[in-house]
Chains A and B, each alone.
Chain A
Amino acid sequence: MEPFDHASALEGCARGDVASLRRLYDREAGFLLAVALRIVRRREVAADVLHDAVVDIWERAGTFDRSRGAGRAWITSIVRHRALKHARAVGRETDLDPEAGAQIADEAPDPFVALAALQEGARLHGCLSRLDADRRQVILLAYVDGLSQSEIAERLGTPLGTVKAWVRRSLIALKDCLS
C-alpha cells in the first residue's frame, strides 16, 4: 500500500474538513471493519461499531497529537474500544459456547501466521515467537479477538489466575523485546 499521512488527515478532521475524514475512511474503513468484526463477530454490529467509531474519530480528532503517537494506531484504538465495549455489554459469553468460539477461531485467519507474511509485522512476530505458545495466544486472543481474561481462561482451559500471570509476564517480555 502506498504511504498515507494519517496524522494530516486527522488534523484536517480537527479543522472540520469532511474531505479529510473521507480520505481516511476510504483508506481505512475496510481494515477498521475487519478489526471490529473480529471482536463483535456479527456483521451488522460491526457496521454499527464502524459508524460510531468514525463519528468518534471526527469528534475527537482535536485531541489527537501526532507527537504522542501514530494516527493509524489512534484510530484503530477507537474502533477497538468501541467494539470491546459492545462485546462486554452484551455479555458475549452467553451466545458463544466454547465449541462455537473455537470453531470461529479455526475459521478466522490466525493472526500469528498472518503476521509472518506482513512486512511491518516482522518485529512483533519475532517478539511473539519468543513467548511460549500459550502465552502468545493469550495476548492475541485479547488483542485481536477481544476476549476478556475469563473468556481466555475458558477457551484455553486454564485457571483465571494463571491467565492473569501470563498476561503480565508476556507484557513485560514484549515491552523489553519491542522497545
Chain B
Amino acid sequence: MIPSEPEDRDVLAGEYVLGLLDAEATTEVERMLGADADLARRVAFWEERLLPASAALGPAEVDPEQWARIERDLATRRQALGHTTALPPARPRRSLWGTAWQSPALWRATTALATAAAIVLAILPNRVSGPAESPTRYFAILQSRDAAGQESGPGWLIQIAQNGTVRSLPLADVKPGNGRSLQLWTLWDQARGPVSLGVLPPGGAIRLPPERLEAIGDGQLFEITLEPEAGSPIGRPTGRILFIGRAKGAATQSL
C-alpha cells in the first residue's frame, strides 16, 4: 500500500531510495512511479539530496576495455531487435516468457512435461517467447544427476538468446537449501576446465557478455553444481553436479 500522508510518503520514498524496502514493496513503488507524479517527485528529492554522499567516494578505476564490451552488447541488442536506429524498448518488456517465468502454474505444467522434453523444445521458442525477445541461439536440456552419478531424466532447461541472455527453467523440483545456491558452468576448453556463467538467481535470468556468448558452440557441455550461496569461492565447481547436458543450436525455421 502506498500511503497518502505526505510524511509517510516521504519516508516511503526515502526508504525506497536507501534500498531498505523489501522486494515486494520495491516493486510496488517502482510500479507506481510512472503513475504517481507526487511519489516520483519525492523519490527524486532523495535521489538528488543524498547524491553527494556517493559523489564523496571519488571515482574507481574503470577497465579500459569495458566500454568496448558495452558497445558490442548494445550492437547485439539492436541487431537482435531487428533494427539499427530505432530505440530499444523504454522499459524491459514483460514478455510472455518473462511472465511465465514466475508463474507456478507454468512451472508445474512444465515439470509435468519434463519427460516429453522434445515437446517443450518445440513449443518454447516459438509460442512462448514474445516477438520482442531476442531469438534463441542455443538450448540445453540438462539431465538430473543423483549423488551416485546416475542420470534420472531431464532436470533443467537452459535457453541462451542471441543477446546473451541466459534463462534457465527447472524441470524437476530442486531446492539448494539454506545458504546454498545453484551455479551454472560451461566447459568450452577442456584444458581450462569449467567456467562459471554465474549463480542462478531464483526465477531470474543472467546475461553473458558477448565474448562469452561467442565462445558457445553446438555440443558444448553445461552443468549446474551445488555451491555456497555466493557461488564457488575458488572459481571452479566445489559441489556435486546436479544437472548436466550439452547445448544444441536452435533451428532457424519457425513452425
The interface of chain A, by Cβ under 8 A from chain B, is 14-16, 18, 21-22, 25, 29-31, 33-35, 37-38, 46-47, 50-52, 54-55, 58-60, 62-63, 68-70, 72-74, 76-77, 80-81, 84, 88-92, 94-95, 109, 111-112, 114-115, 117-118, 120-121, 123-125, 139-140, 142-144, 146, 148-149, 167-168, 171-172, 174-175, 178-179
A111 touches which of B11, B14, B53 (Cβ 8 Å): B53
Q: A94-B179, A172-B10 are in contact. Are A25 and B15 (CB under 8 A)?
A: no
CB-based contact B56/A95 at 8 Å: no
**Residue of B with least CB distance to A170:** B14
B54 at the binding interface (Cβ < 8 Å): yes
CB-based contact A94/B18 at 8 Å: no
State the Cβ distance, B36 to closest chain A Cβ, in Å: 12
Question: In whole angstroms, what is the CA distance A58 to B73 when docked?
Answer: 11
**Chain B residues within an 8 Å CB radius of A175:** 10, 14, 45
B226-237 interface bits toward A, Cβ cutoff 8 Å, 1 = contact, 0 = none = 001111010000
Question: In whole angstroms, what is the CA distance A38 to B53 when docked?
Answer: 12
Question: Using a CB-CB cutoff of 8 Å, which residues 42-57 of chain B contact chain A?
Answer: 44-45, 47-57
Question: In whole angstroms, what is the CA distance A117 to B53 when docked?
Answer: 11
**Chain A residues within an 8 Å CB radius of B40:** 68-69
B105 at the binding interface (Cβ < 8 Å): no
CB-based contact A139/B18 at 8 Å: yes
B1-25 interface bits toward A, Cβ cutoff 8 Å, 1 = contact, 0 = none = 0000001001100110111100100
State the Cβ distance, B208 to closest chain A Cβ, in Å: 11
**Residue of B with least CB distance to A169:** B11
CB-based contact A38/B18 at 8 Å: no
CB-based contact B47/A76 at 8 Å: yes
**Chain B residues within an 8 Å CB radius of A35:** 54, 57
A124 touches which of B10, B37, B50, B86 (Cβ 8 Å): B50
Q: A59-B89, A121-B52 are in contact. Are A142 and B18 (CB under 8 A)?
A: yes
CB-based contact A91/B17 at 8 Å: no
B128 at the binding interface (Cβ < 8 Å): no
Q: A73-B47, A77-B17, A111-B57 are in contact. Are A94 and B70 (CB under 8 A)?
A: no
CB-based contact A146/B91 at 8 Å: no
Interface residues of chain A: helix, strand, loop or mixed (majority): helix
CB-based contact A58/B57 at 8 Å: no
State the Cβ distance, A154 to closest chain B Cβ, in Å: 14
Q: A51-B70, A84-B19, A95-B230 are in contact. Are A172 and B57 (CB under 8 A)?
A: no
CB-based contact B73/A120 at 8 Å: no
Question: In whole angstroms, what is the CA distance A59 to B52 when docked?
Answer: 26
Q: A33-B60, A60-B91 are in contact. Are A146 and B19 (CB under 8 A)?
A: yes
Most interface-central of A69, A74, A92 (chain B CB within 10 A):
A69
Q: A52-B207, A92-B230 are in contact. Are A58 and B74 (CB under 8 A)?
A: yes
CB-based contact B60/A30 at 8 Å: yes
B56 touches which of A16, A60, A91, A109 (Cβ 8 Å): A109
B177 at the binding interface (Cβ < 8 Å): no
**Residue of B with least CB distance to A17:** B85
**Chain A residues within an 8 Å CB radius of B45:** 175, 178-179
Q: 9 A-B contacts, Cβ less than 8 Å apart? A: A18-B71, A29-B66, A69-B48, A90-B231, A91-B230, A115-B53, A142-B18, A144-B54, A178-B45
Q: A18-B74, A69-B47 are in contact. Are A142 and B19 (CB under 8 A)?
A: yes
State the Cβ distance, A175 to closest chain B Cβ, in Å: 5
Q: A111-B56, A142-B20 are in contact. Are A70 and B66 (CB under 8 A)?
A: no
Question: In whole angstroms, what is the CA distance A52 to B66 when docked?
Answer: 11
Question: Using a CB-CB cutoff of 8 Å, which residues 33-89 of chain B contact chain A?
Answer: 34, 37, 40-41, 44-45, 47-63, 66-67, 69-71, 73-74, 77, 85-89
